[in-house]
């Protein structure tokens, strides 16, 4: 079966185990350089996300507030919201390969590897969610990241700037703040497990952002663009003036951001 048909099937299914099988097959094709480059069917524009049939989708302002983290319900809300981000990230990584077919083989390998990481993160969070009495789909979700992927279908440089270099990089900022809040409740065993899981995710997301940084800069170099075009792209998608109160300078720098960029994003200092 065609490499791209498998990717489309991976994006269409809501079964994460099935997604994993397709991704593994496609990664094997890449490492063996067995990709059908004669495949001419244009990438599909998806009208609904793959989680459409298992989650209730609402506007972000309608989401359940993440509070009372010392209760199973409060923890369930938090874990579910993080699991949903990881699920969305699976499809974002797959779509980056499915859609932008002109990119080098290493680009495809990078994002398929990211998809496998995101699948593993999602599975870890599902286990924790089950321990507090819930499953994926028990709480409403929004489709913001799906909308982002569909809004950036026509430009790979926009996709690299907006998804890994903006939204995933924002996760580097938010994750430590969640961990800090949870540490006040670490007497609960489930909290310790969640902190450990979030620390793993944080460490691995640095590499994901770094891959986005690598390919964003590759595309800039290919087109003779200055890296500062990043801010033009953020402005284009109305993301430049979003409030970012706690920039994680250390991890952003490890992921490829310059101090000049970090300051422009809102940090008061960067060393």
Q: What is the mean pLDDT of residues 120-149?
A: 96
For residue 65, what pLDDT is reported?
Answer: 73
Please, which pLDDT band fits residue 1 given cuts at 50, 70 and 90? Answer: low
Name the percent of the chain lying above pLDDT 70.
99
Q: What is the mean pLDDT of residues 109-123?
A: 98
For residue 245, what pLDDT is reported?
Answer: 75
CA distance 58 to 144: 10
Q: Within 13 Å and on the Cβ side, how many CA atoms surround 103?
A: 25
Does the structure show a pLDDT above 80 at 187?
no
User: Which has the higher per-residue pLDDT, 46 or 38?
Assistant: 46
Does the structure show a pLDDT above 70 at 123?
yes
Output the average pLDDT for the chain.
94
- Domain boundaries in the chain? 3-264
Does the structure show a pLDDT above 70 at 39?
yes
- Of 15-24, 73-82, 113-122, 211-220, give the lowest mean pLDDT range: 73-82
Name the percent of the chain lying above pLDDT 90.
82
HEC assignment per residue over the chain: CCHHHHHHHHHHCCCHHHHHHHHHHHHHHHHCCCCCCCCCCCCCCCCCCCCCCCCCECCHHHCCCCCCCCCHHHHHHHHHHHHHHHHHHHHHHHHHHHHCCCCCHHHHHHHHHHHHHHHHHHHHHHHHHHHCCCCCCCCCECCHHHHHHHHCCCCHHHHHHHHHHHHHHHHHHHHHHHHHHHHHHCCCHHHHHHHHHHHHHHHHHHHHHHHHHHHHHHHHHHHCCCCCHHHHHHHHCCCCCCCCCCCCHHHHHHCCCCHHHHHHCCCCCCC
Please, which pLDDT band fits residue 175 given cuts at 50, 70 and 90? Answer: very high
Does the structure show a pLDDT above 90 at 89?
yes
Q: What is the mean pLDDT of residues 92-121?
A: 97
Q: What is the mean pLDDT of residues 73-98?
A: 96
Does the structure show a pLDDT above 90 at 216?
yes
Does the structure show a pLDDT above 80 at 37?
no
Q: pLDDT digit string (tens) for 244-256?
A: 778 999 999 999 9
**57, β-bridge pairs:** 141
Please name which of 122, 115, 121 lies closest in space to residue 97, comparing C-alpha atoms. Answer: 115
Residue 48 CB neighbour total at 10 angstroms: 11
CA distance 254 to 12: 34
């Amino acid at each position: 079966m065609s490499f791209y048909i498998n990717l489309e099937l991976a994006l269409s299914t809501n079964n994460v185990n099935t997604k994993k099988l397709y991704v593994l097959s496609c990664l094997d094709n890449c490492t063996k350089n067995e990709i059908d480059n004669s495949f001419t069917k244009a990438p599909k524009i998806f009208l609904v996300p793959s989680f459409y049939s298992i989650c209730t989708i609402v506007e972000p302002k309608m989401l359940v507030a993440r509070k009372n983290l010392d209760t199973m319900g409060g923890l369930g809300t938090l874990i579910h919201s993080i699991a949903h981000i990881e699920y969305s990230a699976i499809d974002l990584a797959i779509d980056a390969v499915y859609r932008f077919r002109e990119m080098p083989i290493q680009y495809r390998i990078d994002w398929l590897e990211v998809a496998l990481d995101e699948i593993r993160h999602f599975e870890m969070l599902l286990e924790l969610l089950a321990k507090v009495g819930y499953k994926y789909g028990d709480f409403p979700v929004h489709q913001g990241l799906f909308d982002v992927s569909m809004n950036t279908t026509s430009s790979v440089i926009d996709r690299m700037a907006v998804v890994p270099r903006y939204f995933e990089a924002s996760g580097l900022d938010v994750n430590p703040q969640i961990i800090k809040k949870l540490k006040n409740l670490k007497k609960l065993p489930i909290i310790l497990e969640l902190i450990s899981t979030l620390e793993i995710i944080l460490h691995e997301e640095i590499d994901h952002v770094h891959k986005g940084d690598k390919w964003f800069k590759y595309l800039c170099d290919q087109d003779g663009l200055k890296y500062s075009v990043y801010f033009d792209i953020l402005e284009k998608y109305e993301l430049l003036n979003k409030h970012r109160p706690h920039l994680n300078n250390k991890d952003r720098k490890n992921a490829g951001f310059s101090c000049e960029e970090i300051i422009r994003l809102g940090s008061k200092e960067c060393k």
